[in-house]
Amino acid sequence: MTASAFCQQLAVLKYKGGGDWYANPTALPNLIRFCNSHIDTSLNTEPATVEVGSTEIFQYPFIHMTGHGNVYFDEEEAQNLRTYLLGGGFLHVDDNYGMQPYLIKELKKVFPDKELLELGADHPIFNQSYTFPEGLPKIHEHDNKRPQAFGVINQGRLLLLFTFESDLGDGWEDPEVHNDPEEIRDKALKMGANIIEYVFNQ
């Protein structure tokens, strides 16, 4: 792991629209602790909360976004997020269930000239400290669809990762929240660690 992953703080994205941006409150702290224990990061164990339109967004190298419902960015927020991502920031959007159609619509404001591209199982994000030869793991069942990872790429750099029909964040939560088997939580945390590792090393 590069030195850039040391003494950094990650953040949860607070957005408008009525969706529960605050879902899975134990998820990111648990992932951070897992990364600090297993892939030699020294991340701040308490993530921040940052609003889409805030200038504070630029303090955080990695921002996590989740929820179940509506997402809305106004034009200033969309521009702020675009500047953040093009300037070196990274956004991981984990669909907790139901946010996909709203997110796709709002991302058109952020990147009107870019498409979400599906990442194949051969993408390096699936082969970091942990190997996922079949790509994104399935953590929670929603609509009996396969898990998919999509990305926004600019000049060869992955700026945004959208994980769909997987629900990694549920697997990162405290064990008693969803009562997932240990092997499922382990897969979710390892995939999360791969994302963190890839982002800080790319």
Other Cβ atoms within 10 Å of 52 Cβ, number: 25
62-67 vs 11-14, strand pairing mode: parallel
Q: Which residues contact 64 (CB under 8 A, 6 or more apart)?
A: 10, 11, 12, 13, 27, 28, 47, 91, 92, 94, 169
Mean pLDDT by 10 residues, the chain (202 residues): 64 92 91 96 96 97 93 97 98 90 95 96 98 93 84 97 93 79 94 97 89
The predicted pLDDT at position 2 comes to 43
- Segment (H or E) for 186: helix 182-201
CATH of 3-201, one of 3.30.1330.40, 3.30.565.10, 3.30.420.40, 3.40.50.12140: 3.40.50.12140
Closest C-alpha to 53, from 16, 8, 102, 86: 16
pTM higher than 0.85 for the full model? Answer: yes
| Domain boundary assignment for the chain | 3-201
